[in-house]
Amino acid sequence: MLKKTISTLMLFVSFQVHALEKPIKNGRLEVICGSMFSGKSTELLRRIKRAKHAKKEILSIKSHLDTRREEFCITTHDGQKQTAHLLSNNMENLSDSITKLSEGVDVVGIDEIQFFPYKMISIIENLIEKGIIVIVAGLDLDFRGEPFSIMPELMAKADKVHKFSAICSKCGNDAHYSQRIINGKPAKYDDPIIMVGAEECYEARCRNCFETHKPQITN
Ligand SMILES: [Zn+2]
């Protein structure tokens, strides 16, 4: 009986010591997603500002494919901005660059995350492992209404996902789609996902007003 009590006590002590030894990690992933004009960058900047007020060290990153307004800033449609490091998607040393930039940082904010390559997922996981809070903003659906590159996996792995909607440019309902317009007409379904430098524009559309022209699958 005494032997059993001592061994139970030792097991309890060993659990307590283990709990004390294990460092508390604050790292997590928050994903802000939605269509164009849904306020994703505004929400990202709001969270960055909040972290700054809390005296956290911030690293802001944007993709070189984000050609809106100022090159070295995350900008919003309502004129807010935040200085950011411009990183190229094709960088061979993307992981090394982010590791170096994130030294001593508490929060990493990344805008237009959907433009980054697949290896960005493991880079983000490494940041989280180091105790860094990673907040990313990006389009969950491409112009065809299909999941956009790395977004589904990021959303699945996130601690929190915030999905934003815009206002449909046709009817005023909640819009979750980004309609690509070329020469006044909806783009073709088989157009490239990313058209760099193309003369195009986008409208937020609801499910009813979104025109996709998706090829029908016949059995
Ligand atoms: Zn509509």
Domain residue extents for the chain: 23-164
- Residues with catalytic function: 112
Give the angle 151-86-130 at the CA atoms, nearest 5°.
60
Mean pLDDT within 152-170: 98
C-beta neighbour count of 55 within 10 angstroms: 7
CATH number of 23-164: 3.30.420.40, 3.30.559.10, 3.40.50.300, 2.40.320.10?
A: 3.40.50.300
| Structure tokens belonging to residue 130 | 């180091």
Task: Tell me how far the alpha carbon of residue 206 is from its chain's centroid.
Answer: 22
Ligand 1 center to 175 CA (angstroms): 7
Provide the pLDDT confidence category of residue 39 given band limits of 50, 70 and 90. Answer: very high
Provide the pLDDT confidence category of residue 192 given band limits of 50, 70 and 90. Answer: confident
CA distance 170 to 206: 8
> What pLDDT is recorded for position 67?
65
Ligand 1 center to 74 CA (angstroms): 29
> What pLDDT is recorded for position 46?
95
Mean pLDDT within 63-92: 76
Ligand 1 center to 192 CA (angstroms): 24
Ligand 1 center to 214 CA (angstroms): 18
> What pLDDT is recorded for position 135?
98
> What pLDDT is recorded for position 17?
59
